[in-house]
Amino acid sequence: MTWDPEAPGVLRLPSGRLVRGRGLRAPLPPGPPPAYGVYLLGQQPPPVDWESAWLRWPDFRLPADARRARAVLLDAWRRSAGERVELACGGGRGRTGTALACVAVLDGVPPAEAVAYVRRHYDPRAVETPWQKRYVRRFEPPGK
């Protein structure tokens, strides 16, 4: 029910959970579709054939509602224990990288190390702006 760890865009979290990041401007990768997708866009995305959530998140910015973003990302992290979960924005780097770094924090990566973790294991150019990096550093681990 989860991703092939070798599939394009799949990030292995320290717990072993797998989450896929991708850019929506590229074609859907081969293989099974997600069971759940989180779409990080300034405008509502087109419908998909699987369960999904939309976070209003303009390009190069931060989520419009930080509280909702935390709830959606926590739900995505929980689902990733047994479902194919993807996080995606237009290009698959800035917003997607930021969201993946936040999910890594939820999985136990210290906030100060989460951007480097995602850059090392997902995309070296993930998390594009200083405010996105700051958002991740300030993202609270579970239980705080």
Query: What is d(CA 48, CA 53) in angstroms, rounded to the nearest whole number?
Result: 10
Alpha-carbon distance values, 112 to 17, 58, 144 (Å): 20, 24, 15
At residue 13, the pLDDT reads: 98
Domain 10-137 in CATH 3.90.190.10? The answer is yes
pLDDT, mean of residues 46-50: 95
Largest CA distance in the chain: 39
Q: Show Cβ contacts of residue 125 under 8 Å, excluding neighbours closer than 6 positions.
A: 93, 97, 119
Give the residue from 104, 98, 90 showing the smallest Cα distance to 142: 104
Give the residue from 38, 31, 97, 108 showing the smallest Cα distance to 69: 38
pTM of the model: 0.97
DSSP code of residue 46: P
Residue 121 in this model has a pLDDT that exceeds 80: yes
Query: What is d(CA 47, CA 27) in angstroms, rounded to the nearest whole number?
Result: 15
pLDDT digits (tens, 9 = 90+) for 57-75: 999 899 999 999 999 999 9
What percentage of the chain exceeds 70 in pLDDT?
Answer: 99
| Residue 62 CA from chain centroid, whole number | 13
Torsion of CA 16, 91, 125, 2, to 10 degrees: 10
